Structure 1
Amino acid sequence: MLKRLWLILGPVFCALLLVAALLFFYPINYSHHFENEKRSAVTLTAENFKNRTQKAKALTDEDHRFVPFFGSSEWLRFDSLHPAVLAEKYNRSYRPYFLGQRGAASLNQYFGMQQILPQLENKTAVYVVSPQWFTKKGYDASAFQQYFNSDQLTSFLKQQNGDVAAQYAAKRLLQLYPNVAMKDNVKKLAEKESLTSFDQSFIRFMARINQREDAFFSTFVAANNENYENLVLPKLKNLPSKFSYPALEKVGVEEAQKHTSSNDLGIENKFYQNRLKKALKRLKGSQKKLSYVQSPEYNDLQLALDQFAKSKTNVIFVIPPVNAKWMEYTGLSQEMYQQAVQKIKYQLTTQGFTNIADFSQDGGKPYFMQDTIHMGWLGWLAFDKVVDPFVSNPQPAPSYQMNDRFFSQEWSQYTGEPEEFK
């Protein structure tokens, strides 16, 4: 019987051992090709967002400076004044590397950071933090799992020291991914138990396998050229040859007028026709009861802040608005929105994150928004006026003063004046 089992399963077992051995010794080569890196920076697919190799390649290029721009779906709103287009047209000293997907928020960003910690150390970053992430129930588990992978898991486990941040991250991981691989190790972190020497050896082994698997498969998947070729390069001809904000504003106004002609909400025509027009009656007044003031996302944001502090990363935070006409139509409270913004800003500033571009009250400006919740045209221009000087002139990170109370449920559910939170 044993012999028969071996004849059936033996080849499979040997094949698995061979694959594991090949992956274990597979070399990691971060060779650089600027044209490929520029395309990778705007690929904006789920695979590119959650995998390591392509972003690590770009962020380690010593001849060309790529800067991580963390966010969610706003990076997908391309027009002639999109940050990628301006950087390409005017050959800036840096290129944005966009890290974001629809439904992604701080928890996915935190686990993604674990893959590129050396590239964050003493560097500069841009972080869009949208109040609309801060829903009462918090992150959707399916969205989180979609952007999480084994390399993020072992990168996280390998680098944790059992502090409050690690404990919180492990608890959140178990909440949103109850059947996650290596669950026993994650549970130990969540319960503040020490990992055994065997645990640590196994984590290092799996981290090596996962990192090399990522590198191996990245060689078969060419950078997705579609966004660069179709959404960046064609727009260059629309821009003046010499950089000028007044001239760029004229371009933005003309383009926005043309592309928002089908409605009086200031929403891009295709978005309005394909996603809103048929649902308008149903959506009227639909957001009256929404609140972004109480949410576990405040705790998740603290994870990202904690990592930036540990990595001594100098970050500028961008807080976007909601289209004011859409806000009025759906009944979303501006007062509530500003309450959430003040809570976010308090969490940032009291810990030393004082570089903040707050556009939360600009959703009523003409051509500032491309759709209901995403900036475009003159919104991107306002973004550039603040972000470009910060990124173009990198400075050392300030001295952060981290407060672990921002990991508490009391803070996530707090509704009072932020300054009175004790």
Structure 2
Amino acid sequence: MAEAVLIDIFGLKLNSQINCMLLKTLNAVHYLHATNAKFLCIMCGHNLKCENDCEHDSELEMINSLPALQMGFEVISNSSMAAVLYTVKQKLDEKNLDSIKIMTTLQRKALMKVFIDQLFTDVYHFEFEDLPLDLGESHIKESIELNSVTNQELEEIQNDIKTYLRSLPGLKGEPIILTSSLIPDTFIHGFTTRTGGISYIPTLSSFNLFSSTKRKDPKAVVQENLCRLAQAAGFNPEKFHHIKTDHANGVWIMGKKEPNLYDGITTNQSGVAIAALGADCMPLIFADPTKKACGVAHSGWRGTLLGVAMATVNALVAEYGCHLEDILVVMGPSVGPCCFTLPRDSAKAFHNLDPRCVRLFDSPNPYVDIRKATRILLERGGILPQNIQGDSKSDQNQNLDLCTSCHPDMFFSHVRDGINFGSQMGFILIRE
């Protein structure tokens, strides 16, 4: 049984016959679903005129006149279908509902599926039921094939969504980007925090920069957050690449064939932003101002032990002729040894690397310091100690060593927030 029932009459051309049919439909929906469904909703526009035999001036006025509203239906209207459906999504998320029935006409079913694909993820489960009304949409022409949409319709839907999301205010203030004094102005770089985006779900709010099938933030929202980051930082969001996490040590050298999964990227192309995501795992950025090359890496506990930091350094040396003494490395915010534990068998590898990387080693779940382990591995690999920043040994530390789990106002955290966590990132590019 659906937890929510949505009745789509967006673009309805009103007349007394449809009014009567709609009233019967609402009564039937209420009879079948009112007991079990936690949200009954009518989705409509508010900018269309009714036909001559209708005494109401708009969809909204007509819907508000129906006695079925007294049965608990909520009306959500806007001139933009993207705005209507996104508002519905917010209400569903407030109620923590993910099983949804949509009643719409055959003509609009394919269009509605595109909207849902853009604004929802696989966390939600949709079923469709035909609504026996002739809607006669005016703002988007019907597809010749009812089970598909044309390229023009797809473009119009995407533009509708982009325009609406772009109009939303940033939450929790403006974007705050942490930077390092170690990286020269040859590069644009930074580490993002939680503020300034449009993601509204508490554990994703507000500047979430990653979408997955297991989280509730759709790609369209993450893309809008990325556009706001690009504007704040000064790079082109169309020239942007982030790692495809494998929790290992693979590195993609930009310009060569891109692997399916990798945890590091290097490039010497100007104007191309590269980024490593993180939410407890540590984003690393690398820069060589002499050779004008840079890199990023995603370093969780597995990647740390597998040497992803030095794998990225070695790629810079091998591909661009960088010298170890010229490479600068900045460690971004990650979970600290105050909050991160591993089973003793896994923690043993860190203890073998250096006992200082583990606290309470004799306990079943020792505390592990991936930041200290990363510095040790980088120094052993030949990176100068003064060319590493982002931990307590740094001379000019600018909140880069804060524990992501301990600072919910600033950072996302998987350890703290569970499976529906948000992601921040570290990014760098060579100025053009």
TM-score bracket for this pair, using the shorter chain length: under 0.3
TM-score (norm 2): 0.23
Q: Please tell me whether Structure 1 or Structure 2 has the larger radius of gyration of its CA atoms.
A: 2
Q: Which has the higher contact order (CA 8 A, sep 6+)?
A: 1
Report the structure, 1 or 2, having the larger strand content: 2
TM-score (norm 1): 0.23
Report the structure, 1 or 2, having the larger helix content: 1
